[in-house]
A and B are shown apart, each in its own frame.
Chain A
């Protein structure tokens, strides 16, 4: 093969091509040729030939979690949502790009400088703030600019669709008029008591209803499960820690706590030698031992004039303020303790911790206990999880696995996929129970990671298919539904006959509730009644009658008059705005749906 290339490369054309390839590689690197021909296994979707990678999805998921908008346990649902969003964005992006929408680097610069997020208190762009904000949101300046560019292009497109719309004068008037319309009507509510003979349900009716509505009386597919859980929290709760370990943990935590520190400093190399300085501090130590006050001694002995007047007080400090030696000494002390002589770049010190920003041992004892126990049991937890992974994969049952690892085998009653409670309702559990491997093949499930601290393996102990429950099992429910229907029917019939009579001009003794000139939002009558009153045709001669079901009552309505209502500029403005906003939304949504239906989207 090499020979044939060599032979052919003697031709002019081939030489020129090789020259061109060499230069391309020299200018753009080998990558440019490699990436041209290979796809990556990390792609999760392809939109019009443009790929979306797992990293992109992951990065957006992490960003959403970090921003605190989404609790971490919803991560899985979030991932799908993020992918959908990325696909949507990709569709809009490629539409925008194909359409020649563009933002230059210069435009981006101008935009970034005006974003309030990156401005200091004086409203001026701050480069440090820019970098910090980006870093905390997980962007590099380049990736941020890319995203901003795509975002702005999408915005140009969406705003173009939205802002080019208009509202016509006649549309504004018509909607306004409908919205402020008022109606006057009377209504009367018929109740079960108004029926001369309350209806009764026959056996045939029950059976007929049961058959027609069989869907409502299905028992879904159900399983009985066995499962085991390894729970690190539980292991920690059972773990006995001795008092000393707790004390150690407390001390450990205390060594990082903020503290208020005083010192007495003696300098040397000037008027006195190191030995003299040391002797001077030893004198202080001796007086402290005798019970003299640290603050007074500071005033008397300390060369740090900025603090000596205030008892040597340096204020509250955290790590990173001072020399290593000084820091180590200060952070190894408890409250009220005084250090040995410490040397720093400034001289020799005696250091005392006057306040420790730390709750008392008793106050955080449980916390410490839990934290220490958790870290103590972690190795054991990992070992047992590994054993669970190995055993449950190999075993034909779960009991032996449970015995082997020392776990309690839990069993459940019948549960369906949608009606799980407690630990079974956690994400992934019922999916695993109804997976082919577990349900059909009868294997132990994989080890499910419920959260950082809990692992679960489950197994189907028993299974029953969806089935129609016998009428006798659900008789009460069927009866209740049938009775409600019958009563409603009877009331409707009654309403219809009364309306018939009213239309014929009969005088009926009806206890009308009158409602005068109300608009749609009025609360002057039950909602269903108002709605119905506004749906009746306009009265011509005499009232217009109608009826409507409201729960277990039926209302007769007599609509007397319709009026246009007061002109209200505010309402009209609101109505127009609302209509415009929804139209704009529909135009944008419509574009997306249109693109989705015409694009090639492949989820890999």
Chain B
């Protein structure tokens, strides 16, 4: 078809085609280009945000790696935690930063504050697994704070199977605090069995169990 036409005719055909379709083609190109540019700009913005979160978090980690953090260090860490939770909420950085808050409180001996921080994680919108870890830690704080009943309640739900060994271990501690030795023994035994099942190690469960006096050793 095309080869039958002269060059001039072809040119005319192209011009006519362009007249009909040119605008929409340009529109398509413009939309695509602006789409790509917009996407890149958005990516850029996202990356800058993510980088800022990452840098703050990395700083928090290096502060936290120091076991004997002084008051200045703690204040600095608190500032970072606030920045991360305020500016980068909903990220894992924010979830984890909140967990550091409890650690700072424990370091200051302020169990009430630790409880509050962990409670915030559990009631907030942190990821499920982080919430489960917060439950385990909250229960430990509650036992230390003289409230083992509350600890048992916290451990009652929201903890996945993969943390069940830790859960039973802490339940055992709560029962010991309540002087319910039989239940404590039972919880410790389950903790050890679950640890084996999940290929994990627990420290001190055997010690705690032994200290309760194994009832069958007295035959």
Contacts and interface: CB of A to CB of B under 8 A. Distances in A.
Interface of A: 12, 15-20, 22-24, 27, 95-96, 99-104, 106-107, 156-157, 159-161, 163-166, 168-171, 175, 178-179, 181, 492, 496, 499, 532, 534-538, 544-548, 575, 578-579, 582-583, 585-587, 589-594, 597
Given A99-B92, A99-B95, A102-B51, A496 B219 contact: yes
Nearest to B30: A19
Contact of A161 (B114, B133, B141, B162): B133
B198 A19 contact: no
Contacts of A99: 91-93, 95, 127
Interface residues of B, number: 70
A497 to B, nearest CB: 11
Contacts of A100: 50, 53, 88, 90-93
Contact of B217 (A157, A163, A546, A579): A546
B137 A166 contact: yes
A164 B217 contact: no
Contacts of B111: 168
B31 A164 contact: no
Contact of A104 (B21, B54, B90): B54
Given A17-B28, A586-B202, A163 B140 contact: no
Nearest to A11: B24
Contacts of A19: 24-29, 31-32
A23 B219 CA distance: 85
26 contacts: A16-B28, A20-B32, A20-B35, A24-B32, A99-B92, A100-B91, A102-B50, A103-B51, A104-B47, A104-B51, A104-B54, A107-B51, A157-B92, A163-B65, A163-B103, A164-B100, A166-B137, A171-B144, A579-B203, A585-B201, A586-B202, A589-B199, A590-B160, A590-B166, A591-B129, A594-B162
A156 B50 contact: no
B92 A107 contact: no
B106 interface: yes
A171 B173 CA distance: 10
A446 B218 CA distance: 62
Contacts of A586: 163, 165-166, 200-202
B46 to A, nearest CB: 9
10 tightest CB-CB pairs across the interface, nearest first? A19-B28, A99-B92, A537-B213, A102-B50, A100-B91, A160-B96, A593-B162, A23-B32, A164-B99, A15-B24
Contact of A575 (B24, B36, B137, B204): B204
Contact of B24 (A12, A27, A164, A537): A12
Contacts of A578: 203
B55 interface: yes
Interface stretch (B2-10, B56-64, B150-158): B56-64
B80 to A, nearest CB: 13
Nearest to A534: B210
A175 B100 CA distance: 24
Interface string B74-98: 0000000000000010111101100
Contact of B162 (A157, A536, A544, A589): A589
A22 to B, nearest CB: 8
A150 B29 CA distance: 36
B16 interface: no
Contact of B141 (A20, A103, A168): A168
B129 A163 contact: no
B82 to A, nearest CB: 16
A560 B214 CA distance: 17
A582 B202 contact: yes
